[in-house]
Chain A
Amino acid sequence: MKKTLISLLVVTGVGISAVGLVAGERGERHHNEDHERHEHGSSAAYRSDPQYDLYKSECGDCHMAYPPSMLPVASWQGMMTVLDDHFGDNAELDVATAKEVTAFLGRNAAGEGSGEYGERSWRATQGLAPPLRITETDYFRGQHHEIPDKMVTGNPDVGSLSRCESCHREAELGNFDEHGVRIPGYGRWDD
């Protein structure tokens, strides 16, 4: 009788501990998910902008519609004044459309409160001349310098670091999480 009671207490104790462990893990996972969702949400806030569809159709037909938070406002403003020579391509817009797109880029540009990537890009460009390309920023270079050329410029399915979506499969959603990277022909990237 005594033995049985002890066994019962032990089993119950193990059971309670197990429940506690599972609950603890769940709690942590919930916390991480909330954290990621928060970061993801704020980094992708530009997609909820009423002019996002305009931006996506006017700029995103030729290349990925990059998150505006990857460059500071001065970079975008400069770029929008020379669309007739847009890195060697002609990307001219009519005056009214260009004005709307410039305003969209400005209010979603890198800066305080522009999400994880935006704030880091912004800090990295403080005090410097406005960068012309996202791939020229110190923040971007710091994130990509370990990736060998053969995986990018030497990779026919990538070709250039400017093709974010080749490896960041959710880039169009504003998600650049390293865990989601899949380099064509090479798979996951783990540094």
Chain B
Amino acid sequence: MNISIIPSLVLVGLLAAAAVQAGTVDDLLAEYQSKGVGSFDASAGEVLWQQRFPSSDGVERACTSCHTSDLRQKGRHAVTGKTMEPLAPSVNAKRFSKRRQIEKWFKRNCKWTLGRECTAQEKGDLLSFLRKQ
């Protein structure tokens, strides 16, 4: 294969991944909006991301408990210690590309962190913040 074509192919691949990501996130945001939410606010998402919530075991919980405060770095599961890949789509193109995964983790992690499911407004705000990282 002509070597000069490889960078172009890589670029096409990255653009395609970004397009899938944008499509999935846009679709989900539209769906949340259809539930009666006016608009989404990335800065409100960031505040929620940092917010600490009380828990039954006495140790406050936040999204950053596992994902850390730098989304471009690897995270660490607060209980098991297992390493997790970075959440920022700028360094991990797989993030936010599958609707089922996004919904699965919102459900699990909102329940663990906040003690309840997140509302459509909260999920939209969080996605708006996270997609820009």
Residues of A whose CB lies within 8 Å of any CB of B are: 61-64, 84, 87-94, 159-160, 162-163
Count B interface residues, CB 8 Å.
14
User: B108–A90 contact, CB under 8 A?
Assistant: yes
Cβ-defined partner of A88 (8 Å) among B57, B77, B107: B57
- Residues of A within 8 Å of B57, CB to CB, are 88
- Residues of B within 8 Å of A84, CB to CB, are 111
Binds A, one of B8-16, B29-37, B38-46, B78-86: B78-86
Cβ-defined partner of A93 (8 Å) among B82, B104, B112: B104
Chain B residue nearest to A63 in the complex (CB) = B80
Question: A61 vs B105: C-alpha distance in the bound complex, in angstroms?
Answer: 11
Say how far A62's CB is from chain B's closest CB, in angstroms. 5
Chain A residue nearest to B100 in the complex (CB) = A94
Does B64 reach chain A (CB closer than 8 Å)?
A: no
Question: A92 vs B108: C-alpha distance in the bound complex, in angstroms?
Answer: 6
Question: A160 vs B104: C-alpha distance in the bound complex, in angstroms?
Answer: 27
- Residues of B within 8 Å of A61, CB to CB, are 82, 84
- Residues of B within 8 Å of A162, CB to CB, are 80
User: B81–A94 contact, CB under 8 A?
Assistant: no
User: B81–A163 contact, CB under 8 A?
Assistant: yes
User: A90–B109 contact, CB under 8 A?
Assistant: yes
Chain B residue nearest to A83 in the complex (CB) = B108
- Residues of B within 8 Å of A88, CB to CB, are 57, 79
User: B111–A92 contact, CB under 8 A?
Assistant: yes
User: A90–B82 contact, CB under 8 A?
Assistant: no
With A88-B57, A89-B112 as known contacts, state yes or no: A62 contacts B80, CB within 8 Å: yes
Cβ-defined partner of B79 (8 Å) among A64, A89, A92, A94: A89
Say how far B106's CB is from chain A's closest CB, in angstroms. 11
- Residues of A within 8 Å of B100, CB to CB, are 94
Say how far A58's CB is from chain B's closest CB, in angstroms. 9
Question: A162 vs B112: C-alpha distance in the bound complex, in angstroms?
Answer: 20
- Residues of B within 8 Å of A92, CB to CB, are 104, 107-108, 111
Chain B residue nearest to A158 in the complex (CB) = B81
Interface string of B62-87 (1 = CB under 8 A from A): 00000000000000010111101000
Chain A residue nearest to B78 in the complex (CB) = A89
List 18 additional contacts besides A64-B82, A92-B107; criterion CB under 8 Å: A61-B84, A62-B79, A63-B80, A87-B79, A88-B79, A89-B79, A90-B108, A90-B112, A91-B108, A92-B104, A92-B108, A92-B111, A93-B104, A94-B100, A160-B80, A160-B81, A162-B80, A163-B80
The 4 closest A-B pairs by CB, nearest first: A63-B80, A90-B111, A90-B108, A90-B112
